[in-house]
Amino acid sequence: MGTFAERLDHALSSCEFPAQEVLRQLELRHDLVISRSYLSLLRHGHRKTPSPELLKALAQTLDVSVGWLVGDDVPRARAPLPPPGIASAERIAADYMRLSTTSQRAIGHMLQMMGLAETGQPLPPPAGGRAPSPVTTKAVPHHVPGVHPFSPLEAHQARIPPQLGNLLGQRLLHLRLRVEASMSDAAAVLGTTASVIEEFEAGTQAVPPHDLEVLLTRYGVTSRPERRLVMEVARGKHGGAWWLPAFSIMPLWFVAMLAAESDARVIRGYGAEGVPALLQTEDYARAARQAAHHPEPATEQVELAVRLVMERQSRTIDSGETKLWIILRDTALYHMPGGRDIQVDQLTHLIHLAKQPRIALRINGRGRGRYHPRGGSFTIYQGPGPVQVYVTELHRDSVFDDLADVDPFLAAHYRLDMSAESPERTIDVLSGIRDQISRW
């Protein structure tokens, strides 16, 4: 048998991360704050065995059993983890968000390889004769071009049914972990205790509206549509929304876009670089997202995105309740992702859509006298609430409703409509482009 101090010293010495990181994990995961000097005193036997709460937290952080840590003659290893699927979505998210960016990227690569294995697809060939390395030596941001719009974790979480009775609590937990704030940090801005934050996140105590506003500010949620959406979900406004299960796990900007799209009665759009999601065939949608992830396969992330695109289409176009007014730049049709068959099928699909009474589809060509706005694609949602604009970007997209920002996009869409080919020419232009591509 050994003493607690001896076992703690052994565990810290063999731990894969330094003592300072142990202290950080204690604060983030268990809301326990101890000093480095106190940990040193425990390690060298100058302090007695700590409280049961701290003892358990140390054992979990160092990945050893409590009995072994206090000196009992028991196995060092902790008890086996529950079978896969038992852990909640927020528990997985909490563990993932505490990892380094290098570890996050490695896990993302692992999930992508697992997705390929499950579908029986071969692994991608090495580029330049060298095996691809999933781990970079240089730290990368949480959102990088290869994981937009969904990170590997978010794609994996989508398989796990959310706790529909605690969507707000799960959302608050993810927001707090994203900014690496402890429960005590969150409690400090409210003038309360960490146990109250824990109850908020567990869904056992309602979050007062004022406290919710304060927490959103602390967690860096500054977008007005995103804040409004969280407040509305807290009030139970969107109880029957099809996108509600995504509220707790998907990026908040993405859920805000889904909500705006779902409520819209008129959707105006401009496709500068590609065909907008609501007009894509399934094969085009898959090819476009695979191209955005190149050279990584990202199978699970791509399939999640494609599934959501198809669901969005069924809720807007197939329902027949929403009018679409879309303008496409012709260069986006000449330079489409995928092979020739995918491109021809996409153009055939656009011709079919152009014949539907609730879809106004126009083509903006090249040459003098054409209006080509600065920037890229955008979408305008007009419904019972404020007009909202959705803009795609490299690492995350944006939804905003400030009138000073919305008006230029409305004006740009009107100018694009005047610049584009007449409605009577749409099918002829699309057919001409399809014929050209068919001969390539």
- Please report which confidence band the pLDDT of residue 81 belongs to, taking 50, 70 and 90 as the band edges: very low
Give me the pLDDT at residue 271, please.
95
**Is 305 in the same domain as 433?**
yes
Confirm whether 78 is domain-assigned: no
Give me the pLDDT at residue 61, please.
86
Contact 364, 329 (CB under 8 A): yes
CATH number for the domain spanning 435: value is 3.30.870
Average pLDDT, the chain: 82
Cα atoms found within 13 Å of the Cα of residue 63, Cβ hemisphere only:
7
**Is 274 in the same domain as 238?**
no
Beta bridge partners of 270: 327, 378
- Please report which confidence band the pLDDT of residue 44 belongs to, taking 50, 70 and 90 as the band edges: confident
Percent of the chain having pLDDT more than 70? 79
Which pLDDT tens digit goes with each residue over 110-135? 655 555 555 555 555 444 444 433 33
Give me the pLDDT at residue 59, please.
87
Give me the pLDDT at residue 23, please.
85
Which of 45-59, 233-247, 252-266, 360-374 is the least confident region? 45-59
| Residue at which a domain ends, from 217, 246, 275 | 246
Tokens of 68: 């072994």
Confirm whether 323 is domain-assigned: yes
Q: What is the pTM of this model?
A: 0.68
Give me the pLDDT at residue 50, please.
82
Tokens of 150: 């969904």
CATH number for the domain spanning 178: value is 1.10.260.40
Residue 380: its H or E element: strand 378-382
Other CB atoms within a 10 A radius of the CB of residue 390 amount to: 23
Tokens of 256: 């805000």
Angle at CA 151, nearest 5°, toward 58 and 126?
Answer: 105
- Please report which confidence band the pLDDT of residue 140 belongs to, taking 50, 70 and 90 as the band edges: very low
| Residue at which a domain ends, from 246, 278, 296 | 246
Residue 336 pLDDT more than 80? yes
Give me the pLDDT at residue 239, please.
84
Confirm whether 130 is domain-assigned: no
Give me the pLDDT at residue 233, please.
94
CA pair distance 262, 257, nearest whole angstrom:
8
CA pair distance 437, 330, nearest whole angstrom:
13
Which pLDDT tens digit goes with each residue over 345-383? 999 999 999 999 999 999 998 777 899 998 889 999 999
**Is 176 in the same domain as 229?**
yes
- Please report which confidence band the pLDDT of residue 109 belongs to, taking 50, 70 and 90 as the band edges: low
Please state the rounded mean pLDDT for residues 412-432: 95
**Is 191 in the same domain as 283?**
no
Please state the rounded mean pLDDT for residues 399-419: 94
Expressed as residue numbers, the domain containing 273 is 264-439
**Identity of the residue numbered 372:** H
**Is 275 in the same domain as 231?**
no
Q: Directed axis angle between helix 167-178 and helix 89-97, to 10°? A: 10
Using alpha carbons, select from 100, 111, 107, 112 the residue that is nearest to residue 137. Answer: 100
**Is 298 in the same domain as 380?**
yes
**Is 364 in the same domain as 310?**
yes
Which of 112-116, 184-188, 338-342 is the least confident region? 112-116
Confirm whether 382 is domain-assigned: yes
Please state the rounded mean pLDDT for residues 18-29: 80
Which of 51-55, 192-196, 306-310 is the least confident region? 51-55
Give me the pLDDT at residue 104, please.
56
Give me the pLDDT at residue 141, please.
31
**Is 33 in the same domain as 170?**
no
DSSP conformational letter for 420: S
Residue 52 pLDDT more than 60? yes
Which one has a higher pLDDT value, 25 or 120?
A: 25
- Please report which confidence band the pLDDT of residue 31 belongs to, taking 50, 70 and 90 as the band edges: confident
| Residue at which a domain ends, from 246, 275, 299 | 246
Give me the pLDDT at residue 107, please.
64
Confirm whether 359 is domain-assigned: yes
Residue 424 pLDDT more than 80? yes
Residue 188 pLDDT more than 70? yes
| CB-count burial class (<10 Å; 0-12, 13-18, 19+) for 196 | middle
**Is 16 in the same domain as 117?**
no
Residue 267 pLDDT more than 70? yes
Beta bridge partners of 358: none
Contact 255, 243 (CB under 8 A): yes
Which one has a higher pLDDT value, 105 or 389?
A: 389
Residue 166 pLDDT more than 90? no
Confirm whether 221 is domain-assigned: yes
Contact 112, 123 (CB under 8 A): no
**Is 280 in the same domain as 413?**
yes
**Is 213 in the same domain as 288?**
no
Domain count, the chain: 3
Which one has a higher pLDDT value, 198 or 161?
A: 198
Give me the pLDDT at residue 117, please.
53
Peptide bond into 295 cis (omega under 30): yes
Give me the pLDDT at residue 152, please.
63
Residue with tokens 């563990």: 95
Please state the rounded mean pLDDT for residues 49-58: 82
Confirm whether 92 is domain-assigned: no
CA pair distance 249, 292, nearest whole angstrom:
22
Confirm whether 361 is domain-assigned: yes
**Is 169 in the same domain as 308?**
no
- Please report which confidence band the pLDDT of residue 394 belongs to, taking 50, 70 and 90 as the band edges: confident
